[in-house]
Amino acid sequence: MNSPDRHAAFDLTGQVVLITGGGTGLGFGMARCMVAAGARVVLVGRRNAELQRACATLGPHAFALTGDVKRLDTAVAVLDRAEELAGPVTVLINNAGVHLKKPAVETTDAEFAAVLETHVFGAFALTREAGRRMTVCRRGCVVFTASMTALFGMPLVVAYSAAKAAYVGMVQALATEWGPHGVRVNAIAPGWIASAMLDQALAADPARKAKILSRISLGGFGEPDDIGWAAVYLASPAGKYINGIVLPVDGGAASGF
């Protein structure tokens, strides 16, 4: 038996990773780690300038592709264009999303539908088209960015929670359906990750910050690269026997008390 090669286990050389919402935040963190692991990345988003700045930072293995996941009829064109830029997509990361913080009784039908339109319908349209191609090639990996809200209850985010919980069902169904065709489907559930947005949200609410930190057994907020390296693991040969799971990357918050 050959000795394990830790470099080969996490090597993504030759892989093409399409990341929605990849220009900033967690999407950019995942893109940075994917490039470091040897992959080419295609960043999809609505704001071209943002994507171009991200690609300039990431280097020649990153490509910008302007698109809106809510335009469901463009999924085929997005995959076609990604192939033109970088080659056939072997890893899809569904990361684009919108947030709505509002009491449930004040959340309108239109607001609820808008959140599901981006997270659920948009992600499914791209995943369906990517899966169509991956299953023919008998290789590929899909990763959904889920959330702690899919694992335990949080107030004021009913639409977001419903959307992220839908990811859990999609992951399990697609993993079962596509696994026999060589395509793995998983999700990452990020915890509280340090960012300018998180700082802004908690700056004026020290009690909430203290409550959040009290749940996290590791005692601090995560970093975007924590999510990025988890995504690399799921996409890499090291994760080749991982299928149909939701992986919390949260410092222990989901198991906190």
Q: Is residue 255 part of a domain?
A: no
Cα 125 to chain centroid distance, Å, stands at 15
Rounded to two decimals, the pTM is 0.95
Q: Is residue 210 part of a domain?
A: no
pLDDT digit string (tens) for 144-199?
999 998 888 888 899 999 999 999 999 999 999 999 999 999 999 999 998 876 78
What CATH number corresponds to the domain at position 240?
A: 3.40.50.720
Are residues 76 and 132 in contact, defined by beta-carbon separation less than 8 angstroms? no
Q: Is residue 239 part of a domain?
A: yes
Higher pLDDT, 100 or 17: 17
Q: Is residue 36 part of a domain?
A: yes
Give residue for tokens 């090291």.
Answer: 238
- The count of structural domains within the chain is 1
Main-chain dihedrals φ then ψ at residue 145, nearest 5 degrees: -85, 100
Query: Checking DSSP bridges between strand 91-94 and strand 246-249, what pairing results, if any?
Result: unpaired
pLDDT digit string (tens) for 32-61?
999 999 999 999 999 999 999 999 999 999
Positions annotated as catalytic residues are 160
Query: Checking DSSP bridges between strand 91-94 and strand 140-145, what pairing results, if any?
Result: parallel
Which residue range forms the structural domain that includes residue 58?
Answer: 8-193+223-250
Specify the DSSP class assigned to residue 101.
Answer: -
Q: Is residue 208 part of a domain?
A: no
Are residues 175 and 243 in contact, defined by beta-carbon separation less than 8 angstroms? yes
Categorize the per-residue pLDDT at 257 as very low, low, confident or very high, splitting at 50, 70 and 90.
low
Q: Which helix (H) or strand (E) holds 93?
A: strand 91-94
Beta bridge partners of 144: 94, 187
Q: Is residue 70 part of a domain?
A: yes
